[in-house]
Amino acid sequence: MSATAVSVPRRAFAPSPQETAPRPVRAVPAAAQRPKPKLAYAVVAIGGVLAMVVVQLLLSVGLSHGAYEISALQQQQQTLSWQQQSASNDLLEVSSPQFIAANAQALGMVINGTPAYLRLSDAAVIGVPAAAMEETEIPVGPSTLVANSLIDGVPLVTVPGATVDPDASATGVANAAQPIPPLSLENGIPAPQTR
């Protein structure tokens, strides 16, 4: 191996004579001559600390106000949810078959003993259409209807003075003209004819 000499300029290692000159020495002022801290610096520092405390308090108040508002809105939502559930239950009660039948009877509707049907596929009429009579072969009475205790005492839509009463008559309309005698169950439970 051979070593090659590299020439490095002298300035890189040795300081120049101007750089090695001593710096002039100056005297440090005595303690009495030093400037005193100004009052403005203290006021700015204390003012900054007070401003941070005030901002933190305002943020805390704002956050707690938002939490109270959220709590009030959640309580309002729960109340509205209960009201919606109550209205839904009332709707289910008045849309029951017993309530609809009681309103139909109060309007003077009767069950047709000879119904006719229209088949939509070919527009054919099945059965013999006939007018409904007040007297029908289909037994209607308390024994054929399932009692609905939820609508007891609920006023009818068609006759506001009348209410649904399960012991009153066939469909439960209060003050009915003719009570229907109880049905005999010797031959089984009565049911409409289906085909």
Q: 168 lies in a domain?
A: no
Number of domains in the chain: 1
- Looking at residue 42, its pLDDT comes to 87
**Mean pLDDT per 10-residue run, the chain (195 residues)?**
58 60 70 69 92 94 91 94 91 83 79 83 88 68 65 75 61 45 65 65
Residue 7 belongs to some domain of the structure: no
- 31 located within any domain: no
| Residues 6 or more apart in contact with residue 110 via CB below 8 angstroms | 132, 133, 134, 136
The pLDDT, as a whole number, for residue 136 is 64
What pLDDT, on the 0 to 100 scale, is given for residue 137?
63
pLDDT at 39: 85
pLDDT at 177: 39
Structural domain including 57 reads 39-94
Residue 153 is predicted with a pLDDT of 76
Residue 21 lies in a domain: no
DSSP for the chain, written as a single string: ---------GGGTS--TTTTSPPPP-PPPPGGGSPPPPHHHHHHHHHHHHHHHHHHHHHHHHHHHHHHHHHHHHHHHHHHHHHHHHHHHHHHHHTSHHHHHHHHHHTT----SS--EEETTTTEEES------SS-SS--STTTS---GGGTTPBPSS-TT-BB-TTTSSS-BTT-SSPPPPPP-TT--------
Residue 76 lies in a domain: yes
- Cβ neighbours of residue 141 under 8 Å, at least 6 residues apart? 169, 170, 180, 181, 182, 183
In-domain check, residue 131: no
Assigned domain for 84 exists: yes
Residue 131: per-residue pLDDT: 81
